[in-house]
Amino acid sequence: MVTAINGYDFARKGALLLAGTILSGVPAFAQTAPAASPSAGPSTAPAGTATRNGATRVAPPVVTPIGAPVSVRTIKTLRVEGSQRIEGETVLSYTKLRVGIPYTAETLDQALKDLQASDLFADYSIAGVEDGNIVLRVRENPIINRVIIEGNKALKSDKITKEIKLAPRQIFTRTAVRQDIARIIELYRRQGRFAAVIDPKMVNLDQNRVDVVFEISEGPKSKVRQINILGNEVFSDDQIRGQMATKQSRLFRLLSSATSYDQDRLSYDQQKLRQFYLTQGYADFRVTSAVAELTPDKKDFIITYVVEEGKRYKFGDVTVDSQIRDFDNTKLAATLPLKKGDWYNAKLVEDSVDNLSQTAGLFGYAFTEVNPEFQKDAETLTMGINFNIAEAKRTYVERIDINGNTQTQDKVVRREIRLAEGDAFNSFQVKRSQDRINSLGYFADKMEIKQLPGSAPDRVILETNLEEKSTGELQLSAGYSSLERFIIQANITQRNFRGKGQELRAGVNYSSYSKSIELGFTEPYLFDKNIAVGGDIFRRDYNSFNYVGNDRQTNYSQVSTGFQLRAGVPLTEFWSLSARYGLSYDEVSLDSQYLNANGSCNLEVAGRYLCEAIGNRWTSSVGYSISRDTLNSRLRPTAGSRFSFSQDFAGLGGDVKYLRTRLEGSKYANLGSGFIGSIVAEGGYIHPLESSPGPGRDPIRITDRFYLGEPQFRGFDIRGVGPRVLRAGYVIAADGSQSVQTDRDQIQDDALGGRAYYLARAEIEIPLGSGARELGLRPSIYAQVGSLFGIKKPLPTFNYDQAKSAAGALLFNADGSPTLLQNQYKDSGGNPLYLTPEVPATATTPGIASVQTICPAGVIAAGATTCSGTTANARYLNPSIYQETFLGNSAKPRLSVGIGVNWNSPFGPLRIDLAKALLTQKGDDPKLITFNVGTQF
């Protein structure tokens, strides 16, 4: 008889498996058993248990004579059946069964447990327990061929596969499947998807292989439907919710990730609540419970906080106890932001600790410990604080370590560090060094200089761990701009050329508005000295234009070719001085529609102000700038300020003479909670150094003036602010009356620029959730004020005469406006032109064509110099007349408010602005929406 024990069934049902009993040995036992003890009770021996394919058979028990000894069974032979990939010796190694050792039911039971614990077998059993010829029959777990993930959209497959343990060519086990399901569920819970369901499936293949399929039903993202606050009396629910990072799900928070449930954020919000109450004086505040309940549909959470506000405290005595002899305790206490009698504020206590630590750092104590000691008086509701400054030794910089720079040379980083090895430690200089390195733009953002203990208590090691990022940029883009229409741009820039911090750049820009090619190079440290030098060469083709209706018309073009050399030196840590020299050749010409047939300027069509601008000239200028810069980053500042004053003198040779002065300033501040505030202001004035060329002509040429509008002044069109000439045509009615065109879209608008301007902007950058930040979205709200003015009023191009009746009386329209005569053409000498009468041809005589003449009557005979004849000639009149108006030359402010967003889109940087002009002057061109794609802004 052969008895088999099915290990798989054992594992599932937990049945007690008994084998190797006295089933076959009962007769022998009975023959050799000694006399039973009279007091011994009867005992029952279990029979061998046979199990196969899930069915269990239990043999009838056999009664052993009282006191009969049990024979010891020994393993005679031991082998393994069913293993394919695993050697039999390896299978046996997982058990304690060996040939020649005795075995019992417990021994075989343990062997089955050992095989189960190996996770190598799908089925296992023991046979041959009756005669000692033990056979381990196993069926190996299959090998995984593929792991397939289906149904996932919110989480990419690569993020899931990084977390799970199952992988191709590994052994399949149900335990591993359950563990991987738990890991995937946890991933989705971190994403706020608590309704996610994972359905694992196994597809059997040949050669004992399987495909494991995880079918995922992600479900909706679990939102925070409601946040309940219980126990609050001083502050309202909305005030408390406003302090939390978690927000209630509402329609206006559609793009915010703060509405998703996050268990870690729940703990963070409790800290935020405590911080809020501690800043308001409630030192005994605590959160007694915080419970998040999932709604039955698993779509939303309801969070309930129970709080105890406690009593409100004021500051008691504020003292400083310094063990450092250099410090005056009384003076230090007087500089702290907290005062006796003020409401208790834990934030002020933290700020005071930071201030004292920074003060110690300024005096060279790098590792000073500042411990606030609190004396809370529950009766008087006061909180006394003593700041204990532990004794410390003045610290010196032992070593400056720079790590992580594989391309950038060490000296490029070290020259930005404001401390040297052996210097006395100074925390301000460490912070300044950190800001300067971050401003280079060569390394990952938010690099920090760590302060590590040196070889002695008075030594500190400054460790700079860098993570280099790409400093070479190749931009090939095509885009569309409301300013420049279609744009094609190619730029290559290396901001860290050869790892020496040098900047090399080249660019080509083409659009219907401008064309340019530029080359530039900058060496920030000449001969390793703190002297920056650089130069640029350029050719810029700029087209000025105006609009008549929706038609954009080019009026003049300016082609500039030249170069500029520049140099700069620091005066102090924050002040710097730079100088420059530039030479350019400008060619200003009008579009063909504004020229006569002989190439001269058509005064009537172009206007006097444009005809005066044409010509070629050299501009030789020298200038300087003095600036103060405390910004924490030149790329995206969040704190600090910048001020710059510059002047350029044109007239060092050349054809142009003026003095241009500009003033610029900016201030950035972190407003808290991710809000960044900024105020930027600028202004300028051009003083002519030569007299006016003539009546109505400004000494500063139109191409050298300031212009204001899009994109720097949002809410206005390009060159939409400042002096301009509007040329409105006259509409002639059927009855011959005349009226001026009032439709702005049908009026020719020419911006003339100005000699003086000012512009200021106040802006707040609004923080978004992590999802929006990953997309590169940076919205902001702003208000701008500015103006452009200061040129001479140009003379009108034409003065039209008023029409008269046959009796010589002036004629007027029905509305009382004067009826204007059409403009009379003139010759090159300024003489009015007339047309002689045309004589039609007859059958016998040829006709006589009308000709131009300067004679009101008759003609000038050949060789004569005066008119002869009495036949009256008609005036040679221009069929079109217009009204020319000079507007916008006012220093009165223009004001606009708006909201804009920067987006680092896959197509290049995008800026969209929605701005409304609230204050305008007559003649300005407001514009509500502007956008730029594919070009830097």
Q: What is the pLDDT of residues 322-359, one digit of tens each?
A: 887 778 788 888 888 888 899 999 988 988 888 888 78
> What's the token pair of residue 154?
């919110």
> What's the token pair of residue 397?
């910089």
Asked whether 444 and 437 are in contact (CB, 8 A), the reply is: no
Which comes out higher in pLDDT, residue 400 or 759?
759
Q: What is the pLDDT of residue 577?
A: 95
Give the mean pLDDT of 430-454: 80
> What's the token pair of residue 99?
């040939």
HSE-up of residue 200 (Cα within 13 Å, Cβ side): 20
**Residue 890 clears pLDDT 90, i.e. is over it:** yes
Q: What is the pLDDT of residue 898?
A: 94
Which comes out higher in pLDDT, residue 536 or 879?
536
> What's the token pair of residue 50?
């046979």
**Residue 36 clears pLDDT 50, i.e. is over it:** no
Instruction: Kindly give, in sequence order, each residue whose CB lies less than 8 Å from that of residue 242, ignoring residues fewer than 6 positions away.
Output: none
Lowest mean pLDDT among 16-20, 443-447, 715-719: 16-20
Q: What is the pLDDT of residue 481?
A: 52
Lowest mean pLDDT among 17-26, 362-371, 762-771, 917-926: 17-26
Tokens 């009993």 correspond to 21
Contacts 24+ apart (CB under 8 A), 228-232: 228/302, 228/303, 228/304, 228/305, 229/305, 229/307, 230/304, 230/305, 230/306, 230/307, 231/288, 231/306, 231/307, 231/308, 231/309, 232/307, 232/309
Give the mean pLDDT of 452-471: 82
**Residue 548 clears pLDDT 70, i.e. is over it:** no
Which pLDDT band holds residue 685 (cuts at 50, 70, 90)? very high
Distance CA 883, CA 739 (A): 10
Lowest mean pLDDT among 9-13, 628-632, 757-761: 9-13
Tokens 């040196």 correspond to 454
933, containing H or E segment: strand 929-933
Instruction: List residues bridging with 468 in a β-sheet.
Output: 443
HSE-up of residue 394 (Cα within 13 Å, Cβ side): 10
385, containing H or E segment: strand 382-389
Asked whether 121 and 112 are in contact (CB, 8 A), the reply is: no
pLDDT digits (tens, 9 = 90+) for 56-71: 333 344 443 444 444 5
> What's the token pair of residue 532?
């920056």
Which pLDDT band holds residue 440 (cuts at 50, 70, 90)? confident
Give the mean pLDDT of 893-921: 84
Distance CA 547, CA 536 (A): 34
State the chain's maximal CA–CA distance in angstroms: 174
Which pLDDT band holds residue 402 (cuts at 50, 70, 90)? confident
pLDDT digits (tens, 9 = 90+) for 788-841: 999 999 888 777 778 777 777 888 877 787 888 777 778 877 788 888 988 888
The sign one gets for the Cα dihedral 687, 691, 695, 701 is negative
Contacts 24+ apart (CB under 8 A), 288-291: 288/231, 290/266
Q: What is the pLDDT of residue 798?
A: 75
For the beta sheet containing 300-308, the strands, ordered from the edge strand earlier in sequence to the opposite edge, are 223-230, 300-308, 286-294
Asked whether 183 and 155 are in contact (CB, 8 A), the reply is: no
Which pLDDT band holds residue 769 (cuts at 50, 70, 90)? low
Distance CA 82, CA 8 (A): 14
Lowest mean pLDDT among 439-443, 704-708, 862-866: 439-443
**Residue 100 clears pLDDT 80, i.e. is over it:** yes
Closest Cα partner for 502 from 527, 518, 525? 525
Asked whether 255 and 331 are in contact (CB, 8 A), the reply is: no
Q: What is the pLDDT of residue 34?
A: 37
Give whichever of 316-330, 521-535, 673-687 has the largest mean pLDDT: 673-687
Which comes out higher in pLDDT, residue 766 or 86?
766
Portion of the chain with pLDDT greater than 90, in percent: 23
119 φ/ψ sector (left φ>0, alpha ψ -120 to 50, else beta): left
Q: What is the pLDDT of residue 545?
A: 61
Q: What is the pLDDT of residue 307?
A: 92
Give the mean pLDDT of 269-296: 89
Number of helices (H) and strands (E) in the chain: give both, helices first. Answer: 15, 47
At position 500, the amino acid (one-letter code) is: K
Distance CA 420, CA 418 (A): 7
Distance CA 730, CA 825 (A): 18
275, containing H or E segment: helix 263-279
**Residue 462 clears pLDDT 70, i.e. is over it:** yes
Lowest mean pLDDT among 20-29, 519-528, 610-619, 916-925: 20-29
**Residue 880 clears pLDDT 80, i.e. is over it:** no
Instruction: Kindly give, in sequence order, each residue whose CB lies less than 8 Å from that of residue 298, ignoring residues fewer than 6 positions away.
Output: 194, 195, 219, 222
Which pLDDT band holds residue 398 (cuts at 50, 70, 90)? confident
> What's the token pair of residue 706?
């300031």
Q: What is the pLDDT of residue 139?
A: 86
Angle, CA of 581, 582 and 587, to the nearest 5°: 165
Give 94's DSSP letter: T
**Residue 936 clears pLDDT 50, i.e. is over it:** no
**Residue 850 clears pLDDT 90, i.e. is over it:** no
**Residue 906 clears pLDDT 70, i.e. is over it:** no
> What's the token pair of residue 115?
């095989």
Buried b vs exposed e over 802-819: b needs ≥16 C-beta within 10 Å? ebeeeeeeeeebeeeeeb
Give the mean pLDDT of 123-144: 87
Instruction: Kindly give, in sequence order, each residue whose CB lies less than 8 Å from that of residue 606, ignoring residues fewer than 6 positions away.
Output: 555, 590, 594, 595
Instruction: Kindly give, in sequence order, each residue whose CB lies less than 8 Å from that of residue 98, ignoring residues fewer than 6 positions away.
Output: 75, 78, 92
Give 95's DSSP letter: S
Phi, psi of 3, deg, nearest 5: -110, 130
If one counts every other C-beta atom within 10 angstroms of the C-beta of residue 753, the result is: 24
**Residue 32 clears pLDDT 50, i.e. is over it:** no
**Residue 568 clears pLDDT 50, i.e. is over it:** yes
Q: What is the pLDDT of residue 736?
A: 65
Give the mean pLDDT of 257-281: 85
HSE-up of residue 391 (Cα within 13 Å, Cβ side): 2
Helix (H, G, I), strand (E, B) or coil at 789: strand
**Residue 55 clears pLDDT 50, i.e. is over it:** no
List the alpha helices (DSSP H) in 545-669. Answer: 603-606, 608-611
**Residue 405 clears pLDDT 50, i.e. is over it:** yes
Distance CA 298, CA 195 (A): 5
